[in-house]
Amino acid sequence: MSKLSYFNLPDVGEGLTEAEIVSWKVKLGDTVAINDIIVEIETAKSIVELPSPYAGMVAQLMVAEGDTVDVGTPIIAIGSELAAPETTPAPVVPEAPVAPEADVMKPLVGSGPKADAVKRRPRVAAASAALAPAPTVAAVAAPQAPAQVPASNLPTQAQAAPKSSRVLAKPPVRKAAKDLGIDLNEVSATGLRGEVTKKDLLSYQDQRTAEQDGAGSFWAPATGSGLADDPRIERIKVKGVRKATAKAMVESAFSAPHVSIFVDVDASRTMEFVKRLKASRDFEGIKVSPLLILAKAVIWAAARNPSVNATWTGDEIIIKHFMNLGIAAATPRGLMVPNIKDAQNLSLKELAIALNSLATTARAGKTQPADMQGGSLTVTNIGALGIDTGTPIINPGEVAIVAFGTIKQKPWVLDGEVIPRWITTLGGSFDHRVVDGDLSARFMADVAAILEEPALLLD
């Protein structure tokens, strides 16, 4: 008899309340050691790999891939014994067992949901071999084949399940079913734990519409519109980074009074400086771009104008005498803003290495939640997409953001003559509760001054 240890979804970031199970790295019957990677989850900020806190045999995967679960929810059971599983399958019980307190992994210091986090009802397990609760390691053995049932006795979509049994379904599905007047007992469930999914509801409603030739199908705006099954229509569920970004941008745009200013800059000397750095032996093998000089310029200008490196709390303004420089990065998972901690202490070479590492990690989707917390001022390089300028939205918790436009040759008047120069446009957005017009103008002028003459960084 093997003793089971249950691994609860931990809080991998400050204040995390839920996460999506992206992919399991183990399967039933696998043997794992402590710190072996067992699952990949997606939080509102990043994808994170979770290591196993226990050694033993995987006895139960309690959550299916694609499901979103609350912090503290048991997601996997690991047997304490490494012996081969017994041949007798474990009995299926209707509800997941509650692990003894001693068997549940204690959260790491500082982890776990906040005290006021909303708690959901515990999940009810279905009679599925892959997800059935198992008090012993014997659960990993293949279940015996069920007795053959005559086809005439098999339930169909039109045959309701016994009213006494509670159909498994998530709250949004239950609400949709109620709004549509659908009895969930009549819907065939295809979920991994035997639950009715949105897809099941869609299928049932489409069939019911076809049979009744009446009401419009689920999600379709009107009867006969054809949108429900139109191959030209694509619906993307809002979750993860996209959901978090949308929430943060709306909160920022409608809570912080934005003011934006722009300045055209002759960045010809920055281009020359970047060219010299690329040829320098000290920067051999290090990617160098004008963004490096802009980042250094923002750090320098913020030191001269500390109030742009602050946070508004309502009761006070918190000015930070350090720079956690955020760099907005477009990734396959959406917009992310990781930051370089204590960027003010880095040399130009160290800053270049940090920028390269940040970009590589973000594109690979491996940015950790901690790398996106505690930012103090953000730079967004819209010029990389060929855009001249824009009005960026301030990252929540900050009061300033700088947009870096593309650098291109344009006619420029210099000493009374029109000559071609490398010109860029900087756009800055500021929280007017903290940064007034004079301060924002001085800060942007200081940033522009470095791009016009990088030698000022040597002062």
Q: Which residues are catalytic?
A: 432
CB-CB neighbours of 103 under 10 Å: 16
Report the side by side order of strands in the sheet with 4-8: 4-8, 74-79, 56-61, 31-32
Q: Which residue has the tokens 């014994």?
A: 81
Q: Which residues contact 356 (CB under 8 A, 6 or more apart)?
A: 286, 287
DSSP code, position 180: H
- CA 265 distance to own-chain centroid: 35
Burial of 171 (0-12, 13-18, 19+ CB in 10 A): exposed
Spatial distance between the Cα atoms of 446 and 94, rounded to a whole number of angstroms: 67
Tokens found for residue 290: 């004008």
Q: Which residue has the tokens 């069939």?
A: 207
Tell me the residue ranges of DSSP E strands in 271-416: 310-312, 317-319, 325-331, 334-336, 339-340, 377-380, 400-404, 408-414
| Strand partners for 81 | none
Q: CA-CA distances (angstroms) from residue 162 to 104, 155, 159, 196, 425?
A: 35, 11, 9, 15, 68
- CA 280 distance to own-chain centroid: 38
Spatial distance between the Cα atoms of 432 and 76, rounded to a whole number of angstroms: 49
Spatial distance between the Cα atoms of 241 and 8, rounded to a whole number of angstroms: 23
Q: Which residue has the tokens 């990252």?
A: 395
CB-CB neighbours of 299 under 10 Å: 23
Spatial distance between the Cα atoms of 337 and 353, rounded to a whole number of angstroms: 17
Spatial distance between the Cα atoms of 422 and 345, rounded to a whole number of angstroms: 29
Tokens found for residue 78: 């690991």
Q: Per-residue DSSP letters for 98-122?
A: PPPTTTBPPPPTT-S--TTPPPPPP
Tokens found for residue 97: 């067992």
Q: Which helix (H) or strand (E) holds 413?
A: strand 408-414
HSE value, Cβ hemisphere, 13 Å, CA-based, for 341: 5
Q: Which residues contact 238 (CB under 8 A, 6 or more apart)?
A: 246
